[in-house]
Amino acid sequence: MAGGPFAAVPAALPPRVFAAVRAVVFALALAPLAELVRLGLTGGLGANPVEFVLRWLGTWTLVALLATLSITPLRWMTGWAWLLRLRRMLGLYAFFYGTLHVTSYVWIDHFFDWTQIVDDIAKRPYLTFGFLAYVLMVPLAVTSTNSMVRRMGGRNWQRLHRLAYVSAAGGVVHYYWLVKADTSRPVRYALLLALLLAVRVWYGRTAAASASRRGPGPAELAR
């Protein structure tokens, strides 16, 4: 699918250029937290600061997770292999914002009242889905290092990291049931997630069909 206007950018960037791109993406990913701090220091958190902080961090968790899931389809579309080198950083940012979101709920909203927290998660479906979405992100963050990829094996690692789609789906449901009135934003996120999943399924089937038409290679025939 790569080509056309995308060919103007090389598939592999020079080290210095990629380092600059990575620094820009890093700064952009950190910008929502910096803006939240600025709003807190200037009294811009509104009439309900706790709710504002929770929704802000939760929204950016989902945005970062969807951005992470967009990397592979964008790489297929553009042919820019260097995009894949940004995926881990974006995924860790999603976990970072998710951790801040959960920490804010436990600390600022409930002041470590674990009985109330467990009761809320068990009785309120939107909290149940949100909690499960975060829990699914934990093994993805833990296994994000190169050493874990080697230890697990590439195929097993890929299978595990497909949980990112499940986590994102849980986050969308959590957001949809939370807002109640204006559901336009979570619906847009749901449509984007559905599109990303559809593209992945389509590409996987297309690649499998292409490989089947080519037939087995010399290595397979020699077995």
DSSP string for the chain: ---GGGGGS-SS--HHHHHHHHHHHHHHHHHHHHHHHHHHHTT-S-S-HHHHHHHHHHHHHHHHHHHHHHHHHHHHHH--GGGHHHHHHHHHHHHHHHHHHHHHIIIIITTT-HHHHHHHHHH-HHHHHHHHHHHHHHHHHHT-SHHHHHHH-HHHHHHHHTHHHHHHHHHHHHHHHHH-S--HHHHHHHHHHHHHHHHHHHHHHHHHHHHHHH---HHHHT-
pLDDT value at residue 219:
44
Q: Say how many domains are in the chain.
A: 1
Q: Is residue 38 part of a domain?
A: yes
Q: Could you tell me the residue range of the domain that residue 88 belongs to?
A: 11-207
Q: Is residue 212 part of a domain?
A: no
Q: Is residue 5 part of a domain?
A: no
pLDDT value at residue 2:
62
Q: Which residues of the chain have pLDDT under 50?
A: 218-223
Q: Is residue 87 part of a domain?
A: yes
